[in-house]
């Protein structure tokens, strides 16, 4: 019998390359929300993949980018720390886009650490196979990758090969978490994230980035039902208006979509009591950031 292997793997890449999608696919459940908006993932999310022979702990990091607010500052710091703590870095890029300034910025950061790096070329379902090799060559000129793995995180193409290569890279080690453990985020946090995801999907422009969700109450009720009260915080009253919508139509739609997924997560019927409040400048307030889980 071979020894048990375990280790930590950081997912790094520009916003929207599919880091959260890959994590959710590998884990077979939604632990990170996904959308086509940058900065969808604000925290370091830990996802644990366990089999009889290995345990891989994935860190889905917020993107590395130049900080603009205090929240942005913290996100960059979190991402950099993650690079140094881990056994392996997966650098995800979009097969459908050329190498950009964002990718070069990340490569510069990767050169500062000694951790081995795999280049994971995602979204291959979107490109002709002929386009893949030139793109990979461009990346190979910039950095010496341990492996290059083309995948589609959305459809699961080649993800098992990727997993196999990851495990080969990991040292022998113990299981750090019990086998049934999938994520370090409490249900309450994921519930808030699922609501935020629906806001990201349904709104545009400045609204998505100015939104945070606080889950104030999760109370079991009769017939296995769970009462969830949550508040969507926004920075301006004009945004509050958009989020509520004509006769409450937007808030109703957000609630309807979020409730469906929260029910799936909790495995119980859910009554979702959703509110919108204006909390100016929450992104720069220490207290709020801590309350929302963006600070440890
Ligand atoms: P992140 O910001 O890197 O975490 O990216 P997300 O996981 O949130 O994904 C961003 C967008 O890309 C979402 O709309 C995903 O559905 C989409 N996406 C992710 N992986 C793939 C893929 O393999 N193929 C295609 N076509 N779309 C993908
Ligand atoms: K995203
Ligand atoms: Mg993400």
pLDDT of residue 36: 66
Which tokens in the block code for residue 50? 């366990």
Angle, vertex CA 17, rays to CA 74 and CA 37, nearest 5: 65
- Taking CA atoms only, the protein residue closest to ligand 1 atom 18 is 18
Residue 112: pLDDT band (50, 70, 90) is confident
Tell me the CA–centroid distance for residue 34 and ligand 3, in Å.
6
Residue 189 clears pLDDT 70, i.e. is over it: yes
Min mean pLDDT across 75-79, 123-127, 154-158 is at 75-79
- DSSP for 205-225, written as a single string: THHHHT-EEEEEEEEE-GGG-
CA of 59 to the centre of ligand 3 (A): 11
Distance CA 222, CA 237 (A): 36
Report pLDDT for 296.
43
Residue 256 has pLDDT above 80, yes or no: yes
Nearest listed ligand to the Cα of residue 14? 1
Tell whether 122 is in a known binding site: yes
Q: Counting atoms of ligand 1 from 1, which one is nearest the CA of 153?
A: 23
96 is in an annotated binding site: no
Determine the average pLDDT of the residues in 228-251. Answer: 93
Q: What is the pTM of this model?
A: 0.69
Q: Which CATH superfamily is domain 187-291 in?
A: K homology (KH) domain (3.30.300.20)
> Pocket residues for ligand 1 (CB within 6 Å)?
13, 15-21, 34-36, 40-41, 122-123, 125-126, 152-154
What class does CATH assign to 5-169? alpha beta
Dist CA 135 CA 140 (whole Å): 9
Q: For ligand 1, what atom is nearest to the CA of residue 17?
A: 3
Assess contact for 87 and 170: CB atoms under 8 A.
yes
Q: What per-residue confidence (pLDDT) applies to 24?
A: 85
Residue 177 has pLDDT above 60, yes or no: yes
pLDDT band per the 50, 70, 90 thresholds, residue 215 = confident
- Report d(CA 218, CA 228) in Å as an integer: 5
Q: What is the pLDDT of residue 289?
A: 65
Same fold, 5-169 and 187-291: no
Minimal CA–CA distance to 86: which of 108, 57, 54? Answer: 57
Question: How many Å lie between the centroid of ligand 2 and the Cα of residue 198?
Answer: 13
Distance, CA 142 to ligand 2 centroid (Å)? 25
* Most confident of the following: 21-35, 245-259, 266-280: 245-259
Residue from 61, 65, 154 whose mutation best tests the ligand 1 pocket (most atoms within 8 A of CB): 154
Please state the length of the chain.
296
The predicted model gives 134-158 an average pLDDT of 96
| ipTM for the assembly | 0.98
Q: What is the pLDDT of residue 181?
A: 72
Using pLDDT thresholds of 50, 70 and 90, give the confidence band for residue 45.
low
Q: Where are the domains of the chain?
A: 5-169, 187-291
Average pLDDT, the chain: 84
Q: How many CA atoms lie within 13 Å of 77's alpha carbon, on the beta-carbon side? A: 10
Query: Following DSSP, what letter does each residue of 108-132 receive, concatenated?
Result: HHHHTS-S-EEEEEE-GGGS-HHHH
Nearest to residue 107, comparing CAs of 132, 134, 144, 72? Answer: 144
Contact 100, 14 (CB under 8 A): yes
Closest CA to 167 of 9, 12, 1: 9
- The answer to whether 267 touches 261, Cβ cutoff 8 Å, is no
CA distance 111 to 14: 16
Alpha carbon of 90 to ligand 3 centroid (Å): 14
């Amino acid at each position: 019998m071979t020894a048990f292997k375990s280790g930590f793997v950081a997912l790094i890449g520009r916003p929207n390359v599919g880091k959260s999608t890959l994590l959710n696919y590998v884990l077979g459940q939604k632990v990170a929300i996904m959308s086509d908006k940058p900065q969808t993932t604000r925290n370091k999310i830990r996802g644990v993949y366990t089999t009889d022979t290995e345990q891989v702990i994935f860190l889905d990091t917020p993107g590395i980018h130049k900080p603009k607010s205090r929240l942005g500052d913290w996100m960059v710091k979190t991402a950099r720390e993650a690079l140094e703590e881990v056994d392996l870095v997966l650098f995800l890029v979009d097969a459908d886009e050329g190498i950009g300034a964002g990718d070069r910025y990340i490569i510069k950061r990767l050169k500062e650490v000694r951790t081995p790096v795999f280049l994971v070329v995602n979204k291959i379902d979107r490109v002709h196979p002929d386009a893949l090799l030139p793109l990979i060559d461009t990346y190979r000129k910039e950095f010496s990758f341990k492996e290059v793995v083309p995948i589609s995180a959305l459809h699961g193409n080649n993800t098992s090969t990727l997993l196999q290569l990851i495990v080969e890279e990991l040292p022998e080690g113990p299981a750090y978490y019990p086998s049934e453990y999938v994520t370090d985020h409490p249900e309450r946090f994921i519930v808030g994230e699922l609501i935020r995801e629906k806001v990201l999907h349904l709104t545009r422009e400045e609204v998505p980035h100015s939104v945070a969700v606080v889950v104030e109450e999760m109370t079991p009720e009769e017939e296995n039902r769970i009462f969830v009260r949550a508040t969507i915080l926004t920075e301006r009253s004009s945004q509050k208006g958009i989020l509520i919508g004509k006769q409450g139509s937007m808030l109703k739609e957000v609630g309807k979509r979020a409730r469906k997924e929260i029910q799936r997560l909790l495995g119980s019927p859910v009554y979702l009591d959703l509110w919108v409040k204006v909390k100016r400048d929450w992104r720069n307030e220490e207290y709020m950031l801590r309350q929302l889980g963006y600070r440890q």
